[in-house]
Amino acid sequence: MIRRDNLKHSDVDIASVKKGANDNSSQEQEPRMDGGYGWVIVFSAFLISTSTWGLNSSFGIYFSYYLNNNTFEGATRVDYAAIGGISFGLGLVFAPIINYIQGWIGTRPLIVLGNSIQFASIIMASFSVNLWELYLTQGVLQSLGLAMMSLPALTLVSQWFVKRRVLANALSVSGSGVGGVIFNVGMQRIIETQGYQSALRAQAIISFGLGIIAVLLIKTRSKHHKVEFTFYDLDCLKCVGFWLLTFYLITCILGYVVVLYSLATYTVSLGFTNHQGSVVSSMVQVAFCFARPMAGFISDYYGPLTVTTISYYLAGIFALGLWIPVRTYAGAIMLAFIEGNFIGAIFPTVAAITVRLVGISKLNVSFSMSWMFFGAAGVVSELIGVALTSGTDLDNPKSFRNTAIFAGLCFLVCATFSLALRGYIIARDVLYDAIPEEDISKPSLLQVRVPPHSVFLHCLHWPQKRA
């Protein structure tokens, strides 16, 4: 039996030591893990993150341009917010279907298909003249392309790493920060000099090229890990920990999208230009570039759930304490940079947290089920942010007070769910290890029943194996 005090790393797949596991410890610890071609996979995922999440984060500058120039006749602020929400989350709602398609056609063909859809959607958006066309192109189609590319990439890195899994994931998703800076600042400059159509076309070409490079480098190890590509898994759905993870994702993204898409508009409400608003928005992405690798590095020592819990409590406190009183350009930049250091912790840690909860073989199916809810929350989050400022003077920064309060409370709630999930996993491990290995009725990790009081007692417990 493997002793708990011999497991020194937070994200070692403990499902590999359970009775009847699909992966065994010798497979997880083989020499090819934690290095070698795995770093090429990290680079490939980095490029995909740059060309998907980084690209998507630039919608805020188009939002501001469309609104201020009445680009589409009859369109309201709610319409543009809806398009932004759709582009972020609608594709993720179909994550279980995308997971099934991945198992059917393969990882590389799926990413090629997603890259092609995203390229076509942005090019067509540049030719859109009616609002419904913008909904279809920059909203629905772009979201589907993003999901087909980003979902496989988010889970792919975990197949190549064990001890450095969180750090490797962190480096891969930091591409969204790099992409955010490139697409926010670069496309804003093109909009000012050549128009938004040219910016969309340049954006499409850049992202497509990065996606092609990533596809050429990608290799998968799904057969080695016996990864499940199904629509759903009953053991996961019956697991309390899965729902704690899901509610953590939902509440996190509700605040995340509001911050990401609202800061540029908020900066303009302070009396500054659209260019200055794009600079403020890009500061969130600059912070992502540094904070996400740091979160991964720290998580490998102290545990991903420990890091996310602290990060989102701080994000909530700073959103409530800084956003409401900020009235200067320097203050807005500082707010964006500070928030960016904390709100992006979800992306480098979520794959490792999911592996820690369900095991590597069930990573894809549990990931896709939970991200279905994540995507749905992303669709409505910016609409909520807009609704909180509707009917008020958007040139008055005080109109964003309710938006700031909403974002801050979302982060505080999501941190609490993260803390509860941490307590659940630690308590489950204690209960599981207390059952003798020779007991033929010993359940799998997902079937262990954890009493609520035990979750509460272990929330702040510091285990031998980091959570």
Encode pLDDT of 407-461 as tens digits. Answer: 999 999 999 999 999 999 999 988 888 887 766 667 777 778 888 888 888 888 7
End-to-end CA distance of the chain: 20
Looking at the predicted structure, is the pLDDT value of residue 24 above 50? no
- Assign 3-state DSSP to the chain and report helix, strand, coil percentages, each to 5: 75, 0, 25
Q: What is the mean pLDDT of residues 222-233?
A: 63
Please give the pLDDT value at position 233: 80
Highest mean pLDDT among 206-210, 259-263, 425-429: 206-210
Please give the pLDDT value at position 5: 33
- Residue 42 near residue 293, CB atoms below 8 Å: no
- Residue 304 near residue 352, CB atoms below 8 Å: yes
Question: CA 335, CA 345: separation in Å to the nearest integer?
Answer: 17
Q: What tokens were used for 345?
A: 């912790």
Tell me which DSSP letter residue 99 carries: H
DSSP string, 167-219: HHHHHHHTHHHHHHHHHHHHHHHHHHHH-HHHHHHHHHHHHHHHHHHHHHH--
Q: Is 464 helix (H, G, I), strand (E, B) or coil?
A: coil
Please give the pLDDT value at position 228: 57
- Residue 374 near residue 53, CB atoms below 8 Å: no
> Cα torsion for 235, 238, 244, 245, to the nearest 10°?
30
Give the pLDDT band (50/70/90) at residue 317: very high
Tell me which DSSP letter residue 272 carries: -
Please give the pLDDT value at position 226: 58
Work out the number of other CB atoms within 10 angstroms of the CB of residue 216: 9
Please give the pLDDT value at position 22: 37
Q: All domains of the chain, ordered by start, with CATH?
A: 12-458 (1.20.1250.20)
Highest mean pLDDT among 150-154, 247-251, 276-280: 247-251
Question: CA 276, CA 53: separation in Å to the nearest integer?
Answer: 22
From residue 461, how far is each of 19, 92, 303, 446, 454 by CA, in Å? 26, 34, 12, 21, 11
Helix (H) or strand (E) holding 120: helix 107-126
Please give the pLDDT value at position 6: 33
Q: List all residues 6 or more positions away from 332 whose beta carbon is below 8 Å from its beta carbon.
A: 263, 266, 267, 270, 272, 280, 326
Encode pLDDT of 263-303 as tens digits. Answer: 878 888 888 887 788 788 888 888 888 888 888 888 888 88
Q: What is the mean pLDDT of residues 83-89?
A: 87
Q: Which residue has the higher pLDDT, 76 or 199?
A: 199
Encode pLDDT of 87-141 as tens digits. Answer: 888 988 998 898 888 888 888 999 999 999 999 999 999 999 999 999 999 999 9
* CA angle 310–347–459, rounded 5-degree value: 35
Question: CA 4, CA 14: separation in Å to the nearest integer?
Answer: 10
Whether the model clears a pTM of 0.85, i.e. scores above it, the answer is no
Question: CA 144, CA 88: separation in Å to the nearest integer?
Answer: 9
Q: What tokens were used for 459?
A: 């929330």
For CA atoms 255, 261, 265, 270, give the dihedral sign.
positive
Question: CA 64, CA 394: separation in Å to the nearest integer?
Answer: 12
Looking at the predicted structure, is the pLDDT value of residue 15 above 70? no
Q: Which residue has the higher pLDDT, 169 or 311?
A: 311
| Amino acid sitting at position 254 | L
In 3D space, the residue among 297, 288, 341, 302 whose CA is nearest the CA of residue 319 turns out to be 341
Please give the pLDDT value at position 394: 61
Please give the pLDDT value at position 180: 82
Question: CA 151, CA 406: separation in Å to the nearest integer?
Answer: 28
**What is the b/e burial string over 374-396, where b = at least 16 CB atoms within 10 angstroms of the residue's CB?**
bbbbbbbbbbbbbbbbeeeebee
